[in-house]
A and B are shown apart, each in its own frame.
Chain A
Amino acid sequence: MNAKTLLNKKQFCLLMAAGAASALLTGCSGSSGFDPKASTKESAIVDYTCFSNPESQKKIYVILKNYHGDYWKKVITGISDATDEIDASIYLGGIDNETDIDGQISLMEQAVEQNADGILLAPANSSSLVDSCHTAMEQQIPLVLIDSSINSEDYSRCYMTNNVSAGETAAQKMLSLLQDAGNSVTDHLEVGIMLSSDTSQAMINRISGFLDYWSNYAPQQWNIAEDIYLNGGDILKAQSDASRLLKKHEDLKGIFGCNNTSTTGIVNVLTEQERTDVVMVGFDLADETRQFIQNPDFYGASLMQKQDEMGYQGILSLNDLIDGKESGQKYFDTDIILIDENYLMENSVS
């Protein structure tokens, strides 16, 4: 390291957008657009870049675990919004590939070595970052986590979605939509579950919450299909899984998609096969999902995380901690937005 580049915020956001666009064009396979040398999966560190108040004495280091897609763009927007309200120089770095745990550990070490006043971290792994977080906390550096937590208490605060609770909300909405679709509590029906990975704690917790709510409130005749498919983040695989579920289970009346790819896959298949009898509850809001929810022939809803809130609140909170303001609360649920037909109408989301 350590080529700290001083850019103004506008330039930085342009670079971010270019990076995200190039990642999308290249199938999110490598290059970040920031550092050509960081284009391989082995070394995917995006070095710290200062994009706000370089003259400030207060230095906040932000370490992200991804730069790709709308999700992380919104996190960066939240961070960017927060910088308007505080006097601190923000150094933004991260890894371009979420499996590059060593890269993130290295960025943590650099932040500590450069006497960061505070660190905002989106941990790529709940166990591997424990030691780095411990070191930072030992050095009395306030550490705020966003997006996900770690398996230790060595952090100051954490802003993330309560995924168990989100799963419960999804199950609640699924039950209500199934009833809206005309299913009686005495009808025998099945609901399928699709996700991209069964090692993601967020997705596991969504399912735990969903099934917990289901076991408490679903009618006895309404069962969960036992074959749960993993699509590995591939929309085509998600579509084929959705088709397989529909073909295999004649009584399938609902599918829960635990993430964006699963949801998009389900929506595409239901639309293509015109399965208006099957209800969909998912996560995130791709164009296809929005159109599906808006289509009066279908029953659908989706849950959106407030990732911009994570970035925004995370930075403000870090600033407070640096200023010595404690709140007595460590975990902050940034909540979710339930997107259904009414929400889209009321908010005119297009």
Chain B
Amino acid sequence: MKEQRKNRKISKVLFLLYLTVCLGIIISAYFRLSQIARDFNTQHLELITGLYAEKMNTSMEYLQNYAQENVTMIQSMEDQKPAEILQHLRDNLDQTLFCNIGLILKNQKILGNPCDISDIQKKCLDQTAKDAKEPFFSDPYRSTKTGNMVLTIFVPVSHSDKIQTLFMSIPIENLRQLGVYDLLRDKISVYLLKADSENFITCISTGYDMAGNWNNLLLQQKYFRYTGDYSYHQWIKDMQAGEPDGRFSAEIRGEASTISYRSITNMPGWYVIVELTNRNVSNITQNFSVWGGIYGSILVGFTILYMLTIVFLEKKEKKRYIGLSTTDPLTGLMNRRAFQRTLESELRSQKPGIFIFIDVDNFKNYNDRYGHNVGDLCLTHFARAMKKSFPDGSILGRYGGDEFVVYLKNTSSESAQQYMLYFQEQVAHMHLPSGEAIELSASAGGAAFPKQGEDFISLCRSADIALYDVKRNGKAAFKMKGH
């Protein structure tokens, strides 16, 4: 028994160990795969940001080169009047990209469309251009001529007696279009940010219709939750200090995101910002780790199911063996040993009850007269009557031969009498397979626990005395000891 308990404990420990190891493997696999996914995302995000910055740099370079070529053209046409030069430039303007062109003369007169001139003067850009030695971009402003937001590039014209600066405007929408990749639409957001004011243009946005707007980063900070040591201050400080690039994680509008920024070398003070919602681009890799976890869990689940089935079948088999060793095969009642063990266990609870010995009257005669088969039928008939007559929870057994035993829990002598009367009625008539009806009866003797016997042996003895008394007085009755 001790050995059995020990084995059972070992089995449990081994099973728990197995489960723990499986769980550990699944969790570590999930985290490892997630880490691989994150690294993969990071590499791709850096690649995307790099490509965008490169694209913007190339575009800005193209704008500057285009303007520079015009400057060269101006220098080569020095002998002509500025108005003629401007007309020539206008005729050759790439109108798919630029919306206007003009000249600021050394005498501070501006040649160009009256609306453009008014815009430039209103924003004092002509004054800034006067002192500028290098090309520079204006901030975005709304063009009175077109109604669109534009950005204007000013390029000083060297070696010219009449012309000081060339200016050309590009609509923000065209600039925005330079940053649009249809393949990445709804996956990432791309912004062009001016570091000093933190104002930005939205090139691509996911979920929010802000495309082309001139917005401000500070205004968006309520939607940011920075992770780790990084902060808004740090980010701005880095960009204003001219940091060429950087990357950090943050929760934006409740979504875990990664932000990557890179300076646009041809547009000093401006950055390309790429915002990636981890959920979006990382779908494949995240799915990879999630499905890895799911398949692992299914595998472990099936293994556990298999093991449980084995354990269940083993238990069932064991129960069958135990049943065979405790049950009387003819009547289905407990055999003597099982009855004794069960009763002894019940008696330990010290609750009162009635122990009864039951004998089939004249069993030998039936056997002799009708044969053993009918004898067996008598015994099963008795067993059925016992199951029917005594209350649930009663302990029923076949003691041996034609002797049966029953223990009625929490029952008084009077109640026992009632049960036995009913039992006598149930056993009284039995029909043989041939159709013949035979009369049967039982003699029974009872003993009360604990008054008339405190253990199995003494109860048997007391009940046997009462049974003997019944048999001696004509059978077919029940009597408690001492009555």
Task: Report A's interface with B, CB cutoff 8 A.
Answer: 127, 149, 151, 153, 155, 157-158, 162, 164-165, 193, 198, 201, 204-205, 207-208, 211-212, 214-216, 224, 226-228, 230, 328-333
Given the interface pairs A204-B213, A216-B196, the reply to whether A330 lies near B218 with Cβ below 8 Å is: no
Shortest beta-carbon distance, B139 to chain A, in Å? Answer: 6
Task: Report B's interface with A, CB cutoff 8 A.
Answer: 113-115, 122, 139, 141-148, 194, 196-199, 209, 211-216, 218-222, 232
Shortest beta-carbon distance, A21 to chain B, in Å? Answer: 35
A230 to B220, CA, bound (A): 12
B144 and A208 form a contact (CB under 8 A): no
B198 and A215 form a contact (CB under 8 A): yes
A329 and B145 form a contact (CB under 8 A): yes
Give the 3 A-B CB pairs with smallest separation, nearest first.
A331-B147, A212-B197, A330-B147
A214 to B196, CA, bound (A): 9
A198 to B219, CA, bound (A): 7
Given the interface pairs A330-B145, A330-B146, the reply to whether A224 lies near B197 with Cβ below 8 Å is: no
Q: Name the residue on B nearest A149 (C-beta).
A: B147
A208 and B211 form a contact (CB under 8 A): no
A207 and B196 form a contact (CB under 8 A): no
Shortest beta-carbon distance, B193 to chain A, in Å? Answer: 12
Q: Name the residue on B nearest A331 (C-beta).
A: B147
Q: Name the residue on B nearest A206 (C-beta).
A: B216
With A211-B199, A330-B143 known, 18 other A-B pairs at CB within 8 A are A127-B209, A151-B212, A153-B146, A153-B148, A155-B147, A164-B142, A204-B214, A212-B197, A214-B197, A215-B197, A226-B232, A228-B219, A328-B114, A329-B115, A331-B143, A331-B145, A331-B146, A333-B142
A226 to B236, CA, bound (A): 12
A153 and B147 form a contact (CB under 8 A): yes
Q: Name the residue on A nearest B148 (C-beta).
A: A153
| Neighbouring B residues of A208 by C-beta, 8 Å | 197, 199, 214-216
A158 and B197 form a contact (CB under 8 A): no
B197 and A211 form a contact (CB under 8 A): yes
A228 and B144 form a contact (CB under 8 A): no
Q: What are 22 A-B pairs at a CB distance below 8 A?
A: A127-B209, A149-B147, A157-B147, A164-B142, A193-B218, A198-B222, A201-B213, A204-B216, A205-B214, A212-B139, A212-B194, A216-B197, A226-B218, A228-B219, A228-B221, A328-B115, A328-B145, A329-B145, A330-B145, A331-B143, A331-B146, A333-B144
A332 to B118, CA, bound (A): 11
Shortest beta-carbon distance, B122 to chain A, in Å? Answer: 8
| Neighbouring B residues of A328 by C-beta, 8 Å | 113-115, 145
Residue with the greatest number of chain A CB neighbours at <10 A, chosen from B143, B145, B147, B215: B147
| Neighbouring A residues of B219 by C-beta, 8 Å | 198, 204, 207, 228
| Neighbouring B residues of A164 by C-beta, 8 Å | 141-142, 214
| Neighbouring B residues of A230 by C-beta, 8 Å | 222
A201 to B197, CA, bound (A): 17
A151 to B218, CA, bound (A): 24
| Neighbouring A residues of B144 by C-beta, 8 Å | 329-333
| Neighbouring A residues of B232 by C-beta, 8 Å | 226
Shortest beta-carbon distance, B119 to chain A, in Å? Answer: 9
Residue with the greatest number of chain B CB neighbours at <10 A, chosen from A127, A149, A193, A212: A212
A208 to B115, CA, bound (A): 23
| Neighbouring A residues of B143 by C-beta, 8 Å | 330-331
Shortest beta-carbon distance, A59 to chain B, in Å? Answer: 25
Shortest beta-carbon distance, A82 to chain B, in Å? Answer: 21
Shortest beta-carbon distance, B379 to chain A, in Å? Answer: 86
Shortest beta-carbon distance, B406 to chain A, in Å? Answer: 81
A108 to B214, CA, bound (A): 28
| Neighbouring B residues of A127 by C-beta, 8 Å | 209
Shortest beta-carbon distance, A321 to chain B, in Å? Answer: 14
A215 and B196 form a contact (CB under 8 A): yes
Given the interface pairs A149-B147, A153-B148, A215-B196, the reply to whether A331 lies near B142 with Cβ below 8 Å is: yes
A332 to B197, CA, bound (A): 26
B199 and A212 form a contact (CB under 8 A): yes
A230 to B199, CA, bound (A): 19
Q: Name the residue on B nearest A213 (C-beta).
A: B197
Q: Name the residue on B nearest A327 (C-beta).
A: B115
B213 and A207 form a contact (CB under 8 A): no
Q: Name the residue on A nearest B215 (C-beta).
A: A204
| Neighbouring B residues of A226 by C-beta, 8 Å | 218, 221, 232
Shortest beta-carbon distance, A305 to chain B, in Å? Answer: 15
| Neighbouring A residues of B142 by C-beta, 8 Å | 162, 164, 331, 333
Residue with the greatest number of chain A CB neighbours at <10 A, chosen from B141, B213, B219: B219
Q: Name the residue on B nearest A332 (C-beta).
A: B144
A228 and B222 form a contact (CB under 8 A): yes
Q: Name the residue on A nearest B222 (C-beta).
A: A228
| Neighbouring A residues of B148 by C-beta, 8 Å | 153
Q: Name the residue on B nearest A160 (C-beta).
A: B142
| Neighbouring A residues of B197 by C-beta, 8 Å | 208, 211-212, 214-216
B218 and A224 form a contact (CB under 8 A): yes
Given the interface pairs A162-B142, A215-B197, A216-B196, the reply to whether A228 lies near B218 with Cβ below 8 Å is: yes
Shortest beta-carbon distance, B197 to chain A, in Å? Answer: 4
| Neighbouring A residues of B145 by C-beta, 8 Å | 328-331
Shortest beta-carbon distance, A197 to chain B, in Å? Answer: 11
Shortest beta-carbon distance, B137 to chain A, in Å? Answer: 13
Q: Name the residue on A nearest B211 (C-beta).
A: A151
A207 and B198 form a contact (CB under 8 A): no
Task: Identify which of B114, B198, B212, B222 contacts A211 (C-beta below 8 A).
Answer: B198
Shortest beta-carbon distance, B342 to chain A, in Å? Answer: 77
| Neighbouring B residues of A228 by C-beta, 8 Å | 218-219, 221-222
A332 to B194, CA, bound (A): 26
| Neighbouring A residues of B147 by C-beta, 8 Å | 149, 153, 155, 157-158, 330-331
| Neighbouring A residues of B218 by C-beta, 8 Å | 193, 207, 211, 224, 226, 228
Shortest beta-carbon distance, B424 to chain A, in Å? Answer: 85
Shortest beta-carbon distance, B349 to chain A, in Å? Answer: 71
| Neighbouring A residues of B215 by C-beta, 8 Å | 204, 208
Shortest beta-carbon distance, A9 to chain B, in Å? Answer: 31
